Structure 1
Amino acid sequence: MAATAAKQAQRSATERHSAVSEVPDELRADVRLLGELLGRVIAEDGGPDLLADVERLRKAVIAARRREVSVDEVAAMVAGWPVERGVQIARAFTCYFHLVNLAEEHYRIRTLRARDTGEAPLPESLAQAVGELRHDLGADEMARLIADLEFRPVLTAHPTEARRRAVVTAIQRISTQLTEYNAPDRGAQERSEAHRRLLEEIDLLWRTAQLRHTKLDPLDEVRTAMAAFDETLFRTVPRIYRSLDAALGEGSGTREPLARAFIRYGSWIGGDRDGNPNVTSRVTREAVLIQAEHVLTALENATTRIGRTLTASAAFGGPPSPELRDALAAAADDHPELATELATRAPREPHRQWLLYVAARIAATRRRDLDLAYRSPDDLLRDLRACQASLAATGAPRQAYGELQHLIWQVETFGFHLAELEVRQHSQVHARALAEIAEGRVSEVTEEVLATIRMIAWIQERFGVRACSRYVVSFTRSAGDIAAVYELARHAAGSRAPVLDVVPLFESGEDLANSADVLTGMLGIPAVQERLAAGGRRMEVMLGYSDSAKELGPAAATLKLYDAQAELAGWALANDVRLTLFHGRGGALGRGGGPANRAVLAQAPGSVAGRFKVTEQGEVIFARYGHPAIAHRHIEQVTSAVLLASTPSVEARTAEAAARYRLLAERVAAASERAYRSLTEAPGFPEWFGLVSPLEEIGSLRLGSRPARRGLGAPRSLDDLRAIPWVFAWAQTRVNLPGWYGLGSGLLAATRTGGQEPENGTEPGPGLAELRQAYREWPLFASLLDNAEMSLAKTDRQIAARYLALGGRPDFADQVLAEYDLTRRLVLEVTGHSRLLESRRVLSRAVQLRDPYVDALSHLQLRALSALRAEGELAADERERLETLLLLSVNGVAAGLQNTG
């Protein structure tokens, strides 16, 4: 095993040298600039000795990767510093990662813009997808697919964003100044000022506390998510529609749009109360009101801006349409003072008058001025379309179908509620509530369930059914779990019960296998029958990736989820149901993460059908929606994949590959699950995991409002742990076990003739060629191995071994490391790669460049963790200092590795 570790360390050094040599000049320049400015700030604040210590550690971890010094020597250096010095150094590396992440984001944006020359569609863009659809489908088939297209991202508050909001905003200010500094048209004085401002903002980032001092409450999480809407989503969404419209036909912006609004945002933030007692009916009410305030403000500002630009005079463009003229007259009758003011401000500019009147009505809607307010988004859309039709009739199609069309798309997408707030609760809570109601003794928990349903009714009365109607039941085991919600609704509100679409959530392996039977039972529920009839026989089912992966391991869970998708798609076809599968995916690979567009193309045939709904969690929200250019690219990639995955040709190829390699996949899944369970279900494993990882301390990071585990005390089994801290803690140990463990055993078993387990040795057998074929031909299998390869690339064997040794169970440590070695070797053999991430140069470069600096933080974390885990009592102040160092290092490692939860 030691020889294996030495070979891998040497290989890592070679790979890192290769990665460094591939860094583009523009990226290298930005990293150097930001790093030098940070170094200057550190020296000014902490003295040159602090900067010297930071540099010593930086050079030492790089030398350790080159095998020029041992990790023991690095650990000794770190141990020789006072804890306070370790805290300062951890802050330095954490700030450095924030700046490197920013530099890479800027380079990615520049690269996207440089590639978009207009000469050919970008790969994975809507324009390219439409071109392929035209080749594969007839005009009617293509029109139906475009008409049915839906993309539903659902923002969740799952606590995987380790950065404080203050840190995020500081980084955004640095980003603005870096853009100014690099702008090619800036003069010397402007560039000098941008440089000064960069230094000022980096200095402020250094002085900003990285750790939260107070725990987030759910409304803090709602307000944090609003930043993505305010800064990116509101403006990006109509541009996506414009991209599709332009791809569908010439003349976009001068004709009626061919693209419809197909994106609908959802949110669990303030609605997900499963295991979170902090989410109450009052919180849900406030969450909707906060969302409404933001979207109505945005709509008011956009309408005012567009209205002010419509300065075309009736003297030159002709009079408004009779419909708009009548509407203006009615407005003058209803609100004479406002109409007179607008006519004075915009004489002979009827379209300008009208849109400014509409903006005043939106403002009144926000203020709850019922005399002037709109009753619904449909009323607003009617007024906007009246203006659009009038402009088109007067010979101004560019004004009719340009920015005004963007505003119409925004109203269609966001309404007055911004995102549909979805409620989630555990099936057992409902069962207990019904039992208590039958007995006549209602607890506070049950009363809160009833209050939540009454609050849904209030939201629907205020903002419409679209604002809140989905009720997700986690751990759905039977149709009775769905019927329970409808029965509770009758108890809560009687004849005024809200419209509810109750969504089953299948999470365990057993529940996934039984999912179609549960849906069959749901068809017998009268309330479900009513919703199917009213909604065009639409139904939604949620699949949980996190808990299934935690239970079965990554390989077995992947196949189980695929089988469930295939069975549910067949069930829907047989029962004339338009099924939407809601994918509960996390950001990390151990929770179903990875590139979303590749995941879509790997779905079971018939399970997409032009519709894709998925959770967007934690750090993923800001990684994907923090910048307009990146958000635009992400949404286009996912949407293009949804369109292509829904074509008969792609479905046929996927179905053929799935049938051909079905037995092979079953052998991989069965053996991988056995290997995974042999570790995670072994006596003493949960306790060992608690010792080798910062699991206990992660709860002190105050990442979110939700408790980190079910129940109190140390975890006694994996069931006690939520999937997020399970994955987050393993990432901190540099093991990343949830993303790959068991796969190596599965691949090895699949190489054996007839699927027989090897008696001796770990060399692959003759089935290796079939595995390689499956990797080339079956998107699901390729996605599984590619994601595992990414997770393996973020694993560091030397550092991981030091964490695993903390648990005092060398048998567990050896088992984990042996499976890592096997998995790494066989993944490379099957993919045909000579090194991890060989085919993904950009990601490989990012991982290899970060690794040594993550190593530095890991050594600091190990120093703190070892002391906290050592026998003997620690003084309270010493424990506090060590916990601060530990938590700062956790924060920094999360910034370095990125998708950690």
Structure 2
Amino acid sequence: MAFFDSELQNTVRDLGKMLGLTIQQQLGPEWLARIEDVRKTGRRSNEGDASATDHLKTLFAELQDEDLLVLGRAFCQFLNLANIAEQEYNVAQQHSDPLAQLNHALSTLDVDADTLEQALTKLQIDLVLTAHPTEVSRRTLIHKYTELAECLKQIHQSHLTEREREKVEERIAELVAQAWYTDEIRTTRPTPEDEAQWGFSVIEKSLWQAVPDFIRELDHTLQQKFAKGVPLDAVPVRFSSWMGGDRDGNPFVTAKVTERVLLLARRRATDLFFKDVDALQSELSMNVCDDALRAAVGDEAHEPYRAVLRELREQLRQTYRGIVATLSGEEVSRAQWITKDEQLLTPLMLCYRSLHHCGMGKIADGALLDCIRRVHAFGCTLLRLDIRQDSGRHADVFSELTRYLDLGDYANWDEQQKQAFLLQELQSKRPLFPRAWQPSSEVQEVIDTCRVIAANEQTGFGIYIISMASEASDVLAVKLLLKECGVSWSMPVAPLFETLDDLNQAAATTQKLLECEWYKREIDGRQYVMIGYSDSAKDAGALAAGWAQYRSQEALVALAKAHNVTLTLFHGRGGTIGRGGLPAAQAIHSQPPGSLDGGFRVTEQGETIRYKFGMPKLALQSLALYASAILQAVVAPPPAPKQAWRDLLDSMAQQACDNYRAVVRHDKNFVPYFRAATPELELGKLPLGSRPAKRRPEGGVESLRAIPWIFAWAQTRLVLPSWLGVMPAIRQAIEQGQREHIEQMLSDWPFFHSRLSMLDMVFHKADASISAAYDSRLVPEDIRYFGDRLRTELADSMALILDLLGQQEVMEKDPQGKASMQLRAHYLQPLHFLQIELLERVRKYGEQPVSPVLERAMMITIAGIAVGMRNTG
């Protein structure tokens, strides 16, 4: 771990010692000695000592279920502590400053102030916190870990006195003990409301401070270089959420849940702004003001700023009380509530302009400016709630309705008939839904959701996303539903193209919409389209999906330009490579030219939210990274690929897709192998999130969600979805004489380079020996060959990627990333062999109920490996 200095290694060791002492106090010295033996043996096993591996297997086979549970808990906690130490270390070190890099890049590109000003208008980052259940840590433990990180920050400050240091060390030991004595696994699945509250907490504890800090730093950087900063009313970053709005395949997200989550978000925003305004009215005691402020407060107000802020504070107080009463079931008038951002901005801007007018700009540009920036970023609703639903659920509404009206069955109509019906009703002034109609409960739920949208302010919502969209009628159906349910404003509706076929047809489908005059008027010049990364990769493999995503974006950008429409692409990326995850800068620079002109909207999912935004300084750096990458990409767009490159990638992507599907879809032994070799079936028992693991409980792998699909392969270290089929297709192209073109693409095309460089990281996380260990114990002998074949492809793929990248070993050019994985590798090794032992024991129960101790131990190893791998899905 040469990249990391001794400070981090010492911190990890010290935290481990504290955990060891806690375990010793509870269980005795013999247990501490056993855990130490396993840790040291795990290190030797990870370094390739076969006798150490055999020792782990023998030891675990001899221990009782209760003993395996203790070991699992110990190593899960070791990994959590190592992660916290590394996270705090990285924040403190700040190896790179994205805004400094932006400054350098703008200088290199010789960008002038006018060009920058135009680029700033396109800096619209919309980060969508999603309800995907990939956060394995409980909220109560996350709180302890956050406190622990703060203590580590304090302990590393040199100015502490000896007693101050002792007090912090005592607090660290207390928090480590608290974590040990707390259940790692939730006893029940979180509700959608729980998930939403977790998202709100990330905003309150981190982003609330990080956002104004980020804009201040960006403004300072640009002021220094161009004497032009970020405009006061600019919104370079804002936040949306799927938590409580994403009902695709989640029966627990109902209209009532959505209504409640909207209120909970508004309550949290009101509370946060109340604290801000309360602090401001305490500080702004000046008595000199301009005429506009004086006219607002009257001649009697000796302290005019306090007078206007007290009134705003009282409005916030009344709003908060009203929301609390409504949540309690009381009938409350919303007439006095703050429901629009302007109600916050007007008094704040009155104070801001007055302070500047009266020569007190230094005061105006302090906490008051931060509060104004927060209003623009978060608004009175904290974030904007997206609604997502499957296209089939909307079609069901009209199918039932047309049958009730004796018009036939909408489900059996062709696309032309559907569009004609929908457009006729969209332009009709009479209601479509009969009063006497009593739809089924499933259809009623869809209608109720749209009525919740109608009953709430526009500011509380983002966009309406249609999963599995494939036709223009899918979008028009939602528009008609919203109209019939009384939504008086034009809610943006985004089709989500997520299978390979739908991505390939995305532009054609969108063109049908934009050629419709009514629709063109309705959208007022802006179209949202969501690109699905997870399901397309699961459908066609990583390379074919990535190329389809790129081409669909290219075509959509050209289509929007032809129709003079602003296109906002919404990227449904997951945290892992198999679900479209890439480092922010690479993801942005690998997009097609022009794809950022309408802003950048992206999902932030599960554990990546905590890793990117869980601490204010982390969040500041993540936001700066996004802004820097986007501004550079707008000012100097990535090059469009040469035709020869496109032709070659067409061929390689098709071959990679064929390779992938030949294994996943067409080999009859794949599903039995997958189910035996991975803990996929056991994952369903882990109460990660509110959404079921499968869209259809009775379905097979094809119905499995992308998250558990990725999660299962990560547990066994085969990480198969990220690489399967890719390198054999590239090898075939090389054998056909295309190596020179491939090397040019790797050197000069950011999209292609990002694909291959990320495989370098994937291969570092992969471990064929661990995968083989799972197979040897868990996979029936007659299909064990399957894993051997996959590991052969893995080895060949690793050799080829090293050859193309000119490296001797994986992650040679990313020493920090390599050291990061190595920091946890020795703790991960025992957990894998522990999980193998537990899986074998669990499966012996067959259809019988599993021992609670054994089941808990199983779940803890799943959570621990996810923590050690730093991702789940």
TM-score norm. by structure 2 comes to 0.91
Q: For 1:253 and 1:403, how far apart are their aligned partners in 2?
A: 22
Give the secondary structure class of the aligned counterpart of 1:390.
helix
CA contact (8 A) 1:376 1:416 kept: yes
- 1:561 partnered with 2:560: no
CA contact (8 A) 1:694 1:732 kept: yes
Where does residue 690 of structure 2 map in the other structure?
A: 705
Where does residue 325 of structure 1 map in the other structure?
A: 294
Where does residue 384 of structure 1 map in the other structure?
A: 348
Deviation at 1:773, TM superposition (A): 2.9
**Within 5 Å, which residues of 2 pair with 1:176-575?**
176-250=150-224, 257=231, 260-312=234-286, 314=287, 319-329=288-298, 348-368=302-322, 373-440=337-404, 442-460=439-457, 465-493=458-486, 496-525=487-516, 528-533=519-524, 537-575=525-563
Q: For 2:672 and 2:191, how far apart are their aligned partners in 1?
A: 30
CA contact (8 A) 1:868 1:882 kept: yes
Query: Which deviations, in whole Å up to 9, do the C-alpha atoms of 1:17-54 show, x marking residues without a partner?
Result: xx3x4431111121111111111111111111211221
CA contact (8 A) 1:456 1:498 kept: no
Where does residue 740 of structure 1 map in the other structure?
A: 723
Give the secondary structure class of the aligned counterpart of 2:637.
helix
Q: For 1:56 and 1:469, how far apart are their aligned partners in 2?
A: 53
Give the secondary structure class of the aligned counterpart of 1:264.
strand
Q: For 2:491 and 2:228, how far apart are their aligned partners in 1?
A: 40
- 1:636 partnered with 2:624: yes
Q: For 1:183 and 1:814, how far apart are their aligned partners in 2?
A: 51
Q: For 2:562 and 2:775, how far apart are their aligned partners in 1?
A: 50
Where does residue 102 of structure 1 map in the other structure?
A: 84
Matched to 1:794, the amino acid is: K
Q: For 2:749 and 2:846, how far apart are their aligned partners in 1?
A: 55
Give the secondary structure class of the aligned counterpart of 2:485.
helix
Q: For 2:598 and 2:728, how far apart are their aligned partners in 1?
A: 36
Where does residue 9 of structure 1 map in the other structure?
A: none
Structure with bigger RCO (C-alpha 8 Å, 6+ apart): 2
Matched to 2:20, the amino acid is: G
Question: Are the structure 2 counterparts of residues 623 and 469 from structure 1 closer, same or farther at C-alpha, using a change threshold of 3 Å?
Answer: closer
Q: For 2:771 and 2:229, how far apart are their aligned partners in 1?
A: 60
**Within 5 Å, which residues of 2 pair with 1:647-658?**
647=635, 649-651=636-638, 654-655=639-640, 657-658=641-642
Q: For 1:818 and 1:165, how far apart are their aligned partners in 2?
A: 41
Matched to 1:418, the amino acid is: L
**Within 5 Å, which residues of 2 pair with 1:830-849?**
830-849=804-823
- 1:64 partnered with 2:8: no
Runs of 5+ in structure 2 lacking a partner? 323-332, 405-437
- 1:807 partnered with 2:779: yes
Q: For 1:608 and 1:452, how far apart are their aligned partners in 2?
A: 31
Where does residue 7 of structure 2 map in the other structure?
A: 26
Give the secondary structure class of the aligned counterpart of 1:272.
coil
Q: For 1:143 and 1:255, how far apart are their aligned partners in 2?
A: 9
CA contact (8 A) 1:689 1:807 kept: no
Q: For 2:826 and 2:839, how far apart are their aligned partners in 1?
A: 20
Matched to 1:678, the amino acid is: A
CA contact (8 A) 1:545 1:585 kept: yes
Query: Which deviations, in whole Å up to 9, do the C-alpha atoms of 1:627-684 show, x marking residues without a partner?
Result: 111111111111111111122x433xx21x4545223323332222122111101113
CA contact (8 A) 2:247 2:253 kept: yes
Query: Which deviations, in whole Å up to 9, do the C-alpha atoms of 1:851-881 show, x marking residues without a partner?
Result: 22111111110001122334x75874x6433
Matched to 1:355, the amino acid is: L
Matched to 2:498, the amino acid is: E
Query: Which deviations, in whole Å up to 9, do the C-alpha atoms of 1:438-476 show, x marking residues without a partner?
Result: 22361101001000001001112xxxx232151100111
CA contact (8 A) 1:86 1:860 kept: yes
CA contact (8 A) 2:394 2:478 kept: yes
Where does residue 733 of structure 2 map in the other structure?
A: 750
- 1:150 partnered with 2:124: yes
**Within 5 Å, which residues of 2 pair with 1:125-140?**
125=99, 128-129=102-103, 132=106, 135-140=109-114
Matched to 2:379, the amino acid is: G
Matched to 1:450, the amino acid is: I
Give the secondary structure class of the aligned counterpart of 1:289.
helix
Query: Which deviations, in whole Å up to 9, do the C-alpha atoms of 1:324-343 show, x marking residues without a partner?
Result: 1111129x8xxxxxxxxxx6
CA contact (8 A) 1:245 1:258 kept: no
Query: Which deviations, in whole Å up to 9, do the C-alpha atoms of 1:713-756 show, x marking residues without a partner?
Result: 4x43x321100010011111111111111122122112122xxx
Question: Are the structure 2 counterparts of residues 22 and 799 from structure 1 closer, same or farther at C-alpha, using a change threshold of 3 Å?
Answer: same
Aligned-CA RMSD value: 2.2
Q: For 1:200 and 1:309, how far apart are their aligned partners in 2?
A: 37
Deviation at 1:436, TM superposition (A): 0.7
Give the secondary structure class of the aligned counterpart of 1:751.
helix
Matched to 1:488, the amino acid is: L
TM-score norm. by structure 1 comes to 0.88
CA contact (8 A) 1:261 1:413 kept: yes
CA contact (8 A) 2:113 2:226 kept: no
Matched to 1:93, the amino acid is: F
**Within 5 Å, which residues of 2 pair with 1:869-888?**
869-870=843-844, 876=849, 879-888=851-860
Query: Which deviations, in whole Å up to 9, do the C-alpha atoms of 1:39-97 show, x marking residues without a partner?
Result: 11111111112112211221222222333334333212211111111110110001111
Deviation at 1:258, TM superposition (A): 6.3
Q: For 1:370 and 1:539, how far apart are their aligned partners in 2?
A: 32
Question: Are the structure 2 counterparts of residues 497 and 527 from structure 1 closer, same or farther at C-alpha, using a change threshold of 3 Å?
Answer: farther
**Within 5 Å, which residues of 2 pair with 1:596-745?**
596-609=584-597, 611-647=599-635, 649-651=636-638, 654-655=639-640, 657-681=641-665, 682-713=667-698, 715-716=699-700, 718-745=701-728
CA contact (8 A) 2:594 2:637 kept: no
CA contact (8 A) 1:60 1:69 kept: no
Where does residue 336 of structure 1 map in the other structure?
A: none
Give the secondary structure class of the aligned counterpart of 2:238.
coil
Q: For 1:40 and 1:710, how far apart are their aligned partners in 2?
A: 45
Query: Which deviations, in whole Å up to 9, do the C-alpha atoms of 1:347-401 show, x marking residues without a partner?
Result: x332233223322222223233867544521132121111111111111111122
CA contact (8 A) 2:129 2:603 kept: yes
Deviation at 1:498, TM superposition (A): 4.8
Q: For 1:175 and 1:247, how far apart are their aligned partners in 2?
A: 29
Q: For 2:257 and 2:847, how far apart are their aligned partners in 1?
A: 40
**In the comparison of the two structures, how many residue pairs are matched?**
825
Matched to 1:178, the amino acid is: L
Q: For 2:766 and 2:249, how far apart are their aligned partners in 1?
A: 31
Deviation at 1:408, TM superposition (A): 0.9
Q: For 1:826 and 1:255, how far apart are their aligned partners in 2?
A: 47
Where does residue 174 of structure 1 map in the other structure?
A: 148
Q: For 1:599 and 1:490, how far apart are their aligned partners in 2?
A: 37
Select which of 758, 774, 798 maps to 1:787. Answer: 758
Where does residue 165 of structure 1 map in the other structure?
A: 139
Q: For 2:181 and 2:800, how far apart are their aligned partners in 1?
A: 46
